[in-house]
């Protein structure tokens, strides 16, 4: 049978999603837990790989397994073997043609940034940080140059393995609650470090070091050196993929309600 899981995790302690020889990745921990629960090797495929230090509210994975369990048992049984900063939120049996990555129509991320003269403490690693005031209108005007189908080479990491730098960014929403800013992104797919590199440039504009239209020039340059340095992974959350309703999968987890 093929199973899909919705997974949330705090990425601080891990070397990203993808399995590594160190075995200190979220994929390694999940597959170890699934293998213990099923008493057989399990290999998973995720909807979107996350970098070291990046969190997820609803990573979606699928895998094939020759074990028949109730969906509730998959949830409880797998979580029993997972560390406390990783938890399966839901489990669903899916048709064999479902693929966690290929079946996704888009992917969603959020960046939470604290604007404060003092660095974070109780929310360290869970939020980004700037100590200079940010101009929301300037950042929104800059973000408008990003929406649409563009060559995002200027925001692409040198080690990116994507076949094409052309992606369609459908939404960039910027909001504020108290001292916390939230940046929401949705696209058909993202390049390696694309959001962290965009954030670096948005924050430069928000702090008045560049005008909003500078973002248009950065996109047009198609040159990584034209953009600002990569921003910290702290405060970046993978909200999860979007699927067609025919798959009947959850679109959110309770963790969404706790994000600023």
pLDDT tier at 117, thresholds 50, 70, 90: very high
Output the pTM of the full model: 0.95
Residue 114 maps to a domain = yes
Q: Are residues 70 and 15 in the same domain?
A: yes
Residue 56, beta-bridge partner list? 9, 238
**Could you tell me if 41 and 67 lie in one domain?**
yes
Q: Are residue 33 and residue 9 in the same domain, yes or no?
A: yes
Q: Are residues 53 and 98 in the same domain?
A: yes
Inter-residue contact 113 to 126 (CB < 8 Å): no
198: closest CA among 159, 160, 142? Answer: 142
Active site residues: 51
- Would 249 be classed as within a structural domain? no
pLDDT at 160 over 90: no
Domain membership of residue 34 (yes or no) is yes
In degrees and rounded to multiples of 5, residue 149 shows phi and psi of -95, 120
Residue 258 lies in a domain: no
Residues 118 and 153 reside in one and the same domain? yes
Mean pLDDT, rounded, of the chain:
95
For the domain that residue 96 is a member of, what is the CATH number? 3.30.70.580
Average pLDDT rounded to a whole number, residues 151-179 = 94
Distances (CA, A) of 162 to 5, 155, 165, 190, 216: 25, 13, 7, 9, 23
pLDDT at 46: 96
| Residue 183, in any domain of the structure | yes
Say if residue 99 is in the same domain as residue 110. no
Give the domain range for residue 181.
Answer: 106-237
Tell me the sheet residues that pair with 240. 108
Q: Which helix (H) or strand (E) holds 8?
A: strand 2-9
pLDDT tens-digit map of 62-95: 999 998 889 989 999 999 999 999 999 999 999 9
Residues 48 and 122 in one domain: no
Which CATH number characterizes residue 148's domain? Answer: 3.30.70.660
The predicted-structure confidence for 32-65, as pLDDT tens digits, reads as follows 999 999 999 999 999 999 999 999 999 999 999 9
Which tokens is 206 given? Answer: 């928000």
Whether residues 18 and 124 fall in one domain = no
* 84 and 132 belong to one structural domain: no
């Amino acid at each position: 049978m093929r199973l899909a899981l919705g997974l949330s995790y705090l990425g601080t302690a891990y070397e990203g999603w993808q399995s590594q020889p160190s075995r200190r990745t979220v994929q390694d921990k999940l597959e170890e837990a699934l293998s213990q629960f099923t008493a057989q090797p399990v290999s998973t495929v995720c909807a979107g790989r996350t970098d070291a230090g990046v969190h997820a509210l609803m990573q979606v994975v699928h895998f094939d397994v020759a074990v028949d369990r109730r969906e509730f048992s998959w949830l409880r049984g797998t979580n029993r073997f997972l560390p406390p900063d990783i938890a399966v939120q839901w489990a669903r049996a899916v048709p064999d043609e479902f693929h966690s990555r290929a079946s996704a129509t888009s992917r969603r991320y959020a960046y939470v940034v604290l604007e404060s003269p003092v660095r974070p403490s109780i929310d360290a690693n869970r939020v980004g940080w700037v100590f200079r005031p940010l101009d929301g209108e300037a950042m929104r005007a800059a973000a408008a140059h990003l929406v649409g189908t563009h060559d995002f080479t200027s925001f692409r990491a040198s080690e990116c393995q994507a076949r094409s730098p052309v992606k369609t960014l459908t939404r960039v929403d910027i909001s504020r609650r108290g001292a916390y800013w939230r940046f929401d992104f949705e696209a058909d797919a993202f390049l390696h470090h694309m959001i962290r590199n965009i954030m670096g440039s948005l924050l430069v504009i928000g702090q008045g070091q560049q005008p909003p239209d500078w973002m248009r020039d950065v996109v047009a340059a198609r040159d990584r050196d034209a953009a600002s340095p990569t921003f910290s992974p702290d405060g970046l959350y993978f909200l999860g993929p979007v699927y067609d309703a025919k798959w009947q999968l959850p679109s959110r987890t309770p963790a969404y309600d706790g994000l600023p």
